[in-house]
Chains A and B, each alone.
Chain A
């Protein structure tokens, strides 16, 4: 662990079950992702000193903030933590400038004003110093909250769903601002979100939480493509999740073969799953190839399947398609293709199409019963 990193270990059984061990390096943005009630906000509150878990060891920048074996618990006001609350929690009776200056009580008055003004400029709020929070838009309030959190000169920056209270247009703008701002920040940053897109856009790494436990950590792209269980795949919103039987592993071709709904599938070599055992498998939409009508293209021969479009929706430049595959059971596969591709291939409801599952995109996981496709 580097000196400026934060190391967190929390455990408890009662009230809110927790069993987590996390580390976030200086300058790294770690997203805590999970459904409601998974414990992500509780972890953030424990780091801030606003919640005391039954057992906890929290060390930040070589400062021990909590050490249960020694009964040590540093209260929130003695930790240098910058916390941006979900609804910003600005002080309604203070101006924007005074909100930001509250963390600078130990600094001489003139210097605190200069620092606060500089931070407000950094978050593009110059000129709004004397305004009160309720006269600001959601995006402006969020920026004040960020400036206030940074004015504490925090050793860790905690962001608790900071984009949930603003509209989508503002959110996109704030994403860009945060991405720019974080270039200048050297402390560990933890972002709580339930939005997978947000974590993949902003975070270096993510920790997927479920019922107070971390199921998997890694880059958002890695966790999405290589979930370590079907539960993780489900939580990562992977829609193409199925079960199959392992037929064989071919060392020479580096391929693993599966039997799925009477179809033999070729997958990337994953010999850790024994032959004749059932497994779960998934494939991301980006690893599914659409056959062009009348013009075979590269990759068409990998796990070709025929089916009929049973759902077709266009949004944000993408066609979201559900294909019912012609196989023993009625199985649906979801694919997303750029709108221009969908239109060029004249895709539409009830059209018959061909798709190929790229073998390198087929990821195997330990078997567990799925609600759909057993």
Chain B
């Protein structure tokens, strides 16, 4: 069992999930309530990671962050480092890859709140932030939690994009999914089995939790 890889995976998943929380709420709410020009196009781009092979997305990120030109060169000149083969790059790649998994459930959860309820809150004297805090978030929370659980689990098991953007640097970019792959490559089957079983168990727990939250969500919106 490669504990360093497991800890790194959990750290990556937690960081990604925490950063996706405000992003998901802002975008999910915005897409749920606002009509604007180009909304369909934006939603298409946000949903792209659902169908795009992770390696393809990883390849484009690798090209974009390449220190030889463009964005990568600018990052290198401005901040002294680029975003490939390091943890920060992994976080950014994971956020991009998980955008639909975080935004779509939150968007559905916000959209399910009847407009009249939000308007009733305004008529009770609540400003937009109070409406968000006292009405929208409590009603949308099962959807939000479900989005976060899926994003966390998804990041924990992600392979292709992590390998493309981060490589396999132990302690820096080698996540548990890559560690399993490396174990199999070196015929260390017992380690691969333990790590795989751990991931399987974790996935089962998260999916069960998601289903349970979805059931509660539907109950709330009877």
Contacts and interface: CB of A to CB of B under 8 A. Distances in A.
Interface in A249-263: none
B123 A152 contact: yes
Contacts of B135: 91
A76 interface: yes
Nearest to B118: A89
B138 interface: yes
B121 A102 contact: yes
B127 interface: yes
Contact of B126 (A48, A50, A77, A92): A77
Contacts of B128: 77
Interface in A57-113: 75-78, 81-83, 85-87, 89-93, 102-103, 105-106
A106 B126 CA distance: 11
A105 B127 CA distance: 12
B125 A103 contact: yes
A134 interface: yes
A40 interface: no
Contact of A89 (B117, B125, B126, B139): B117
A148 interface: yes
Nearest to B222: A134
Contacts of B125: 77-78, 102-103, 105-106, 152
Contact of B139 (A81, A90, A92, A105): A92
B117 A76 contact: no
Contact of B116 (A77, A82, A85, A105): A85
A90 B222 CA distance: 13
A108 B83 CA distance: 53
Interface residues of B, number: 21
Interface string B120-140: 111111111010001100110
Nearest to A83: B123
A85 B120 contact: yes
A255 to B, nearest CB: 54
Majority DSSP secondary structure for residues of B touching A: helix
Bin the interface of chain A by size: 20 to 34
B221 interface: yes
Given A76-B119, A85-B119, A134-B222, A93 B124 contact: no
Contacts of A149: 123
Nearest to B127: A77
Contacts of A77: 122-128, 130
B78 interface: no
Contacts of A103: 124-125
Given A93-B139, A102-B134, A87 B123 contact: no
Interface in B79-134: 114, 116-117, 119-128, 130, 134
B35 interface: no
Interface string A131-151: 000100000000000001100
Interface in B206-222: 220-222
Q: Which 3 A-B pairs have the closest CB atoms?
A: A89-B116, A76-B122, A89-B120
Interface of B: 114, 116-117, 119-128, 130, 134-135, 138-139, 220-222
Given A77-B125, A90-B120, 9 more contacts: A49-B122, A50-B122, A77-B122, A87-B114, A87-B116, A89-B119, A102-B121, A102-B126, A149-B123
25 contacts: A49-B122, A76-B123, A77-B123, A77-B125, A77-B127, A77-B128, A77-B130, A83-B119, A83-B120, A85-B116, A87-B114, A89-B117, A89-B119, A89-B120, A91-B120, A92-B117, A92-B220, A92-B222, A102-B124, A102-B125, A102-B134, A105-B126, A134-B222, A148-B120, A152-B124
